[in-house]
Amino acid sequence: MKEWIKNNNHKLKNEVRAKLYVGITRARASSTIIMDYDENDQFDGIEIYTGG
């Protein structure tokens, strides 16, 4: 799932894709994905929270 978040052209099993979709779309206010990443990684359309 992490690789797909970095690059949505990466293969993601349909079952995993469905679970991610349900998890994000059922949120009442907002969704957050927490993961370790390299500072050089770039994510299109994703805001990186720096805690500050």
**In this structure, what DSSP letter does residue 48 have?**
P
pLDDT digits (tens, 9 = 90+) for 5-52: 888 788 889 999 899 889 888 988 888 888 888 888 877 777 777 776
- Expressed as residue numbers, the domain containing 1 is 1-29
Mapping DSSP to helix (H, G, I), strand (E, B) and coil, where does residue 6 land?
A: helix
- Residue 22 domain flag: yes
- Residue 39 domain flag: no
- Residue 49 domain flag: no
pTM above 0.85, yes or no: no
- Residue 9 domain flag: yes
Give the C-alpha separation, 21 to 41, whole Å: 23
**How many domains, the chain?**
1
- Residue 41 domain flag: no
